[in-house]
């Protein structure tokens, strides 16, 4: 049994080494300028070893964003006593912080979203806040929380794409506008019901 745990430990070390090396190279040289060969040489492993852990360079970035979204959700759990709008404001602010800090890698992740279907952390984080808001009466219960989360996530991503492509504006301000349109639209819907 100790042999298995040693093997698993070695696999984990190799994974972490490849992941850390790739992220360091992406940040130093840029995603496009970093090759898998560059990553494996710097990590001192064979090229085939890389593919044992990651299907592509994009898969490394998607794992990075999955971890970042998970951390974002975990931090949000500490926001007890906040209204749903305040929770969403904080969530969108922290998401924008991440997207701005790692702009190029965030772009790679957004471009490759279809590859990251297994990463639903952002969606489920938004859905949890919305569900809580519906239970407390702050958000109209007339819509499925999954639908609302998908709508808000789509707005966030579209504004990120526009911000990234235009190379101007303030993503944090964009997220404030997105949230205002989203929440005010729900409030009007609730008033009309």
- Going by pLDDT thresholds of 50, 70 and 90, the confidence category of residue 2 is low
Q: Look at domain 57-192 and name its CATH class.
A: mainly alpha
Q: What is the DSSP letter of 102?
A: T
Average pLDDT of 131-137?
91
Q: What distance in Å separates the CA atoms of residue 153 and residue 22, rounded to the nearest whole number? A: 28
Tell me the whole-structure pTM to 2 decimals: 0.81
Q: What is the pLDDT of residues 55-80, one digit of tens each?
A: 999 999 999 988 888 888 877 666 67
For domain 1-54, which architecture applies?
Orthogonal Bundle (1.10)
Residue boundaries of the structural domains of the chain:
1-54, 57-192
Judge whether residue 82 has pLDDT over 90.
no
Cβ atoms of 72 and 88 closer than 8 Å = no
**Beta strand residue intervals within 13-164, DSSP E:** none
pLDDT tens track for 17-32 = 999 999 999 999 999 9
1/164: higher pLDDT: 164
- Closest to 30 measured CA to CA, from 105, 122, 133: 105
Pull the structure tokens for residue 193: 């019901």
Structure confidence at residue 176 as a pLDDT band (50, 70, 90): very high
Share of the chain above pLDDT 70, in %: 89
| pLDDT-above-90 percentage for the chain | 63
Rounded to 5°, angle at Cα 82 from 80 and 86: 135
How confident is residue 173, by pLDDT bands cut at 50, 70 and 90?
Answer: very high
Residue environment code for 69-105, b if the CB has 16+ CB neighbours within 10 A, otherwise e: beebbeebeeeeeeebbebbbbbbebbbebbeebeeb
């Amino acid at each position: 049994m100790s042999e298995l745990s040693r093997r698993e430990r070695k696999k984990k070390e190799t994974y972490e080494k490849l992941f850390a090396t790739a992220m360091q190279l992406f940040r130093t040289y840029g995603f496009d300028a970093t090759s898998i060969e560059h990553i494996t040489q710097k990590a001192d492993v064979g090229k085939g070893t890389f593919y044992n852990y990651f299907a592509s360079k994009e898969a490394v970035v998607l794992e990075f964003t999955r971890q970042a979204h998970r951390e974002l959700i975990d931090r949000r759990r500490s926001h007890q006593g906040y209204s749903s709008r305040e929770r969403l404001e904080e969530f969108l602010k922290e998401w924008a912080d991440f997207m701005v800090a790692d702009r190029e890698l965030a772009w790679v992740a957004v471009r490759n979203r279809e590859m990251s279907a297994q990463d639903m952390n952002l969606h489920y984080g938004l859905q949890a806040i919305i569900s809580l808001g519906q239970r407390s009466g702050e958000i109209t219960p007339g819509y499925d929380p999954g639908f609302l989360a998908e709508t808000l996530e789509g707005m966030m991503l579209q504004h990120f794409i526009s911000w990234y492509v235009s190379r101007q504006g303030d993503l944090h301000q964009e997220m404030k506008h997105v949230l205002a349109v989203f929440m005010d639209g729900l409030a009007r819907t609730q008033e009309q019901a």
